[in-house]
């Protein structure tokens, strides 16, 4: 199995954890030197915090790992295209590369809604790879929102 699929499967495990606690199923892992140094999933509802996206929590954990806000030579694997907030944090943290699975048509910041990565940044550029295990991630998201809609109808 190729490296990107291997690490995306790990991010999908995190997304499933979010799904199981009724959070939008987004999961992430941060990799350095082919080793996972941080992992996280969405906790917006649990923490009642709009900034508690999996990517943000993962970046914070990665910074703690290095005891540095600069996450040089790291790769962030995330099951959903990063939003504007997370994309800004990714750039500021100096993440080398982002690999994401499914498009986010509502707030995706790598072209689905807006593309913050297209403009050349004066200090740091992020490599992007998209669509890795997209179908698996999309199916999990679809199942989550179908379940959420049914739950609302039954109230």
Query: Of 55, 118, 134, 143, which residue is the catalytic one?
Result: 55
d(CA 155, CA 136): 29
d(CA 125, CA 107): 21
How many CB atoms within 10 Å of residue 106? 9
Active site residue 45: no
d(CA 24, CA 37): 23
Query: Which residues participate in catalysis according to the annotation?
Result: 55
């Amino acid at each position: 199995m190729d490296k990107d699929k291997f690490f995306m499967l790990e991010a999908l495990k995190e997304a499933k954890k979010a799904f199981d606690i009724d959070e939008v199923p987004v999961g992430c892992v941060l990799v350095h030197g082919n080793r996972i140094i941080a992992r996280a999933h969405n906790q917006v509802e649990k923490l009642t915090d709009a900034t508690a996206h999996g990517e943000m929590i993962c970046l914070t954990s990665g910074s703690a790992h290095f005891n540095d806000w600069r996450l040089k030579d790291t790769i962030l694997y995330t099951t959903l295209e990063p939003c504007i907030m997370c994309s800004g944090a990714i750039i500021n943290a100096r993440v080398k590369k982002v690999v994401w699975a499914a498009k986010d048509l509502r707030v995706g910041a790598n072209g689905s809604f807006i593309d913050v990565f297209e403009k050349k940044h004066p200090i740091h550029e992020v490599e992007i790879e998209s669509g890795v295990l997209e179908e698996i991630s999309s199916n999990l998201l679809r199942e989550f929102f179908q379940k959420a809609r049914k739950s609302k109808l039954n109230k």
